């Protein structure tokens, strides 16, 4: 097992990519702290994964609220004793063209997608420094690298995540902590399920592989960067996008 006895905190784990990552990590022997704002879905899915034999526990958290993050991290350490891996997967969208984007929607996305990454990483840092090693994986996006129409707020936060990743990789590498990011392309999630079929077909035609990505594609990238196989990878942004932006 590639993550045997490792303790992993995965934010945004109540559904989508985060939920898939929780199962993938559980299969690989990790003790998984599923962190999410949605307590109903998080509790339900944690019970389902435990029924499959995986060591998972749900912790409610609002990543935009530092006191909530600190409380979550304290509880994780009470249950599991340490934190080896942090997957900053939680994210939201509030898409609109610049002329129609409200200040509230801009700030809401920044609070979760960027400030939330800062909160969670700073909160788990003492645990990683204590054991002298750790893996931090942040979720960026191709939108954050290349921009995207109607996503001023989202693209800005995902570009910011790249900046955080590279800065922390330089700061924390000497402490035995690897910091990397994953930049997903178009992935089949609950959000894309609401997109009209005609638009989905157009999206697929933009990808050289002629398909959208699956949550497993991103979860497996998280797994690689969280495992010992990536011990000499630091400050990298791994694109998992089917080649859409070549």
In tens, the pLDDT along 24-69 reads 999 999 999 999 999 999 999 999 999 999 999 999 999 999 999 9
Which pLDDT belongs to residue 58?
Answer: 98
Question: How many domains does the chain fold into?
Answer: 1
Which residue in 54, 154, 222, 232 is the catalytic one? 154
Identify which of 166, 139, 160 has the alpha carbon closest to the alpha carbon of residue 233.
166
Q: Binning pLDDT at 50, 70 and 90, where does residue 245 land?
A: confident
User: Is 1 inside a domain boundary?
Assistant: no
26-to-7, 121, 145, 215 alpha-carbon distances in Å: 10, 21, 31, 15
- Measured CA to CA, the distance from residue 25 to residue 3 in angstroms comes to 7
Angle, helices 39-51/16-27, rounded to nearest 10 degrees: 30
Closest CA to 138 of 116, 106, 153: 116
The structure tokens 């784990």 sit at 13
Predicted local confidence at residue 196, as pLDDT: 84
What is the extent of the structural domain holding 164? Answer: 7-240
First to last CA, the chain: 34
Overall average pLDDT of the 9-16 stretch:
98
The pLDDT of residue 194 is: 73
Categorize the per-residue pLDDT at 199 as very low, low, confident or very high, splitting at 50, 70 and 90.
confident
Residue 193 has pLDDT above 80, yes or no: no
CA distances from 83 to 41, 55, 135, 192, 209 (A): 23, 14, 9, 32, 36
Q: What is the spatial distance between Cα 63 and Cα 109, in angstroms, rounded to a whole number?
A: 11
Residue 106 near residue 160 (C-beta atoms within 8 A)? no
Instruction: Specify whether the CB–CB gap between 17 and 87 falls below 8 A.
Output: no
pLDDT of residue 47: 98
Report yes or no: 50 and 21 within 8 Å, Cβ to Cβ: no
* Within-domain flag for 128: yes
- Give domain status of residue 125, yes or no: yes
User: Is 245 within a domain?
Assistant: no
What 3-state DSSP class applies to 62? coil
Task: Answer whether residue 14 is part of any domain.
Answer: yes
* CATH code at position 190: 3.40.50.720
Domain-embedded: residue 2: no
Lowest mean pLDDT among 83-87, 172-176, 194-198: 194-198
Q: Can you give the pLDDT at residue 200? A: 86
- Residue 222 designated active-site: no
Integer angstrom CA distances of residue 36 from 2, 27, 225: 24, 20, 21
Q: What share of the chain is helix, strand, coil (3-state, %, to 5)?
A: 50, 15, 30
For 225, list phi and psi in degrees, rounded to 5: -70, -20
Would the pLDDT of 190 be above 90?
A: no
Residue 70 lies in a domain: yes
Mean pLDDT over 134-143 rounds to 98
Q: Confidence class of residue 153 from pLDDT cuts 50, 70 and 90?
A: very high
């Amino acid at each position: 097992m590639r993550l045997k006895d490792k303790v992993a905190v995965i934010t945004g784990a109540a559904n989508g990519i985060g939920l898939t990552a929780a199962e993938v990590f559980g299969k690989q022997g990790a003790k998984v702290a599923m962190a999410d704002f949605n307590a109903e879905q998080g509790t339900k899915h944690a019970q389902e994964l435990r029924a499959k034999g995986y060591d998972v526990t749900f912790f409610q958290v609002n990543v935009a609220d530092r006191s909530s993050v600190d409380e979550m991290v304290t509880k994780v350490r009470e249950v599991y004793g340490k934190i080896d891996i942090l997957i900053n997967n939680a994210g939201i969208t509030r898409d609109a063209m610049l002329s129609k984007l409200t200040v509230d929607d801009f700030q809401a996305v920044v609070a979760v997608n960027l400030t939330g990454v800062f909160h969670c990483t700073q909160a788990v840092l003492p645990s990683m420094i204590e054991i002298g090693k750790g893996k931090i994986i942040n979720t960026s996006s191709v939108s954050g690298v290349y921009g995207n129409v109607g996503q001023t707020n989202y693209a800005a936060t995902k570009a910011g995540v790249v900046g955080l990743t590279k800065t922390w990789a330089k700061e924390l590498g000497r402490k035995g902590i690897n910091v990397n990011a994953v930049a997903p392309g178009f992935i089949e999630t609950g959000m894309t399920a609401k997109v009209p079929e005609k638009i989905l077909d157009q999206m697929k035609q933009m990808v050289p592989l002629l398909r959208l990505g699956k949550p497993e594609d991103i979860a497996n990238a998280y797994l690689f960067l969280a495992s010992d196989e990536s011990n000499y990878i630091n400050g990298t942004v791994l694109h998992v996008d089917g080649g859409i932006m070549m």
